[in-house]
Chains A and B, each alone.
Chain A
């Protein structure tokens, strides 16, 4: 069913009885051209672009839980492309361009809202660093504006501008950044992929990867063996576990990241604001809840929940930036499993196993990358070679020395 103003009016007259499920409940077939392991945002986007851009429609997406149960439903919904390194900037900018046309492409309201992403700075050296970042972005054709203190105040008045330790001196604004509705992104990609013939198979956990003479032939699942010409892994926090089924050890540790939503209030924060002196970022959802987060907990974890010290740390940053937040009650908080890579940058590449492809290492930046990640992964799978946009996201870059360390923290995943 095509969604339009006409379909809404028609259904209104029919008492909303005619809506059909957004995607089929597919039964696994015996063989597919491509099997994608992981029905999160990246896996579903990959299936969509495989079908749309490369005409490969005999595709299955296998999800161990239900669509939207993983990180695509466990993030702070921010989209942006304010990256510094030449390997990252064009990729994330392509992602933002895809976000800008996503709703028309998917025929689905993903609530993409370009309300701006503002990174605050609090010292002269930080201003220099942000000016450099902004200039780098503009050289790559990305929008960036360096705002002074008054311009920040006009945009977001309710910050603690005269904080004794971290006075706000200004900020780097990307107006085209913003937020999107995370669940709708998963549902929209699932629906669009399904419409082109992709089978979306939920409650189907992969338990093994079958290979013959170094070439992948299919996957063992809780619903039986499924043959595949090619297999793409997009398993986020579980990447190491699934890749181990094919005998691979990855440059990845799984860590938990917590996020929070407050009770709903009237419009308070325009766009996304990040605190430059601590790790804290906040935006306001359309319902009015303040959505915010901070650091990962900092140690290996497969628990989709965190511990109190990080919550306290986030709350302290919140109070330093916006003291008014202290009057709000927390509505809910949750944790997601981050596939923290050794240099803080992702991997979209072939693997040493023929026909097996890897999409992993997104750290806590995976949501904004969803469309470009799927687009590039689909290209890599379809053509057996990376697209120039993801050519640097190599699995072997740790051996060759071509690491992409945006933060300069070295091979310590808990510091990225």
Chain B
């Protein structure tokens, strides 16, 4: 499997680190059901057999966080974009810390 990094070009998967499901919405910590929402956020996954939107980090290259859309049945990559701006503000801030 090769991932086309928007900054570095297409590279082998061993340059990248997998960072999991990118569809998850970080809950509002101040909301009423925050505890239950965080349990779901941390532990539960759709785990679909098909298109999967996921985070990868180009740890062996530019170190950018990427959002990759991949078919987990075939490893065919449909789309790659920089995570900055795509994910929620809270997550992006966490990345920058």
Interface residues of A, Cβ cutoff 8 Å to B = 238, 240-241, 244, 249-254, 298-303, 307, 309, 312, 342, 398-399, 411-412, 414
- Whether A253 contacts B73 in the complex (CB less than 8 A), given A307-B13, A309-B14, A398-B39, comes out as no
Question: Given the complex, which residues of B lie within 8 Å of A251, measured CB to CB?
Answer: 43-45
28 contacts between A and B (CB under 8 A): A241-B48, A241-B49, A249-B40, A249-B44, A249-B46, A250-B44, A250-B45, A251-B43, A251-B44, A251-B45, A252-B45, A252-B47, A253-B20, A253-B21, A253-B47, A254-B47, A254-B72, A299-B54, A299-B72, A300-B47, A303-B75, A307-B13, A307-B75, A312-B14, A342-B43, A398-B39, A411-B43, A414-B18
Question: Given the complex, which residues of A lie within 8 Å of B45, measured CB to CB?
Answer: 240, 249-253
Say yes or no: A307 contacts B47, CB within 8 Å: no
- Whether A399 contacts B18 in the complex (CB less than 8 A), given A252-B45, A300-B54, A303-B75, comes out as no
Question: Given the complex, which residues of A lie within 8 Å of B18, measured CB to CB?
Answer: 298-299, 414
How many B residues have CB within 8 A of the partner chain? 25
Interface of A is mostly: mixed
User: Which 10 pairs across A and B sit closest by C-beta, in order of nearness?
Assistant: A240-B47, A309-B14, A398-B43, A299-B18, A251-B43, A302-B49, A249-B44, A399-B39, A342-B43, A302-B73
* A241-B43 Cα distance, complex, nearest whole Å: 16
Say yes or no: B72 contacts A399, CB within 8 Å: no
Question: Given the complex, which residues of B lie within 8 Å of A299, measured CB to CB?
Answer: 18, 54, 72
Q: Chain A residue with minimal CB distance to B1?
A: A307
Q: Chain B residue with minimal CB distance to A241?
A: B49
Question: Given the complex, which residues of B lie within 8 Å of A302, measured CB to CB?
Answer: 49-50, 72-73
Q: Which of A298, A303, A414 contacts B73 (CB 8 A)?
A: A303
Q: Chain A residue with minimal CB distance to B12?
A: A309
Interface residue? B74 (CB, 8 A): yes
Say yes or no: B72 contacts A411, CB within 8 Å: no
Q: Tell me, rounded to whole Å, the shortest Cβ–Cβ distance linking B10 to chain A.
A: 15
B27-56 vs A, Cβ < 8 Å mask (1 yes, 0 no) = 000000000100110111111111010100
Q: A249-B46, A254-B72, A301-B75 are in contact. List 15 more A-B contacts (CB 8 A).
A: A244-B46, A250-B44, A250-B47, A251-B44, A254-B47, A299-B72, A300-B21, A300-B72, A302-B50, A303-B73, A303-B74, A303-B75, A399-B39, A411-B43, A414-B18
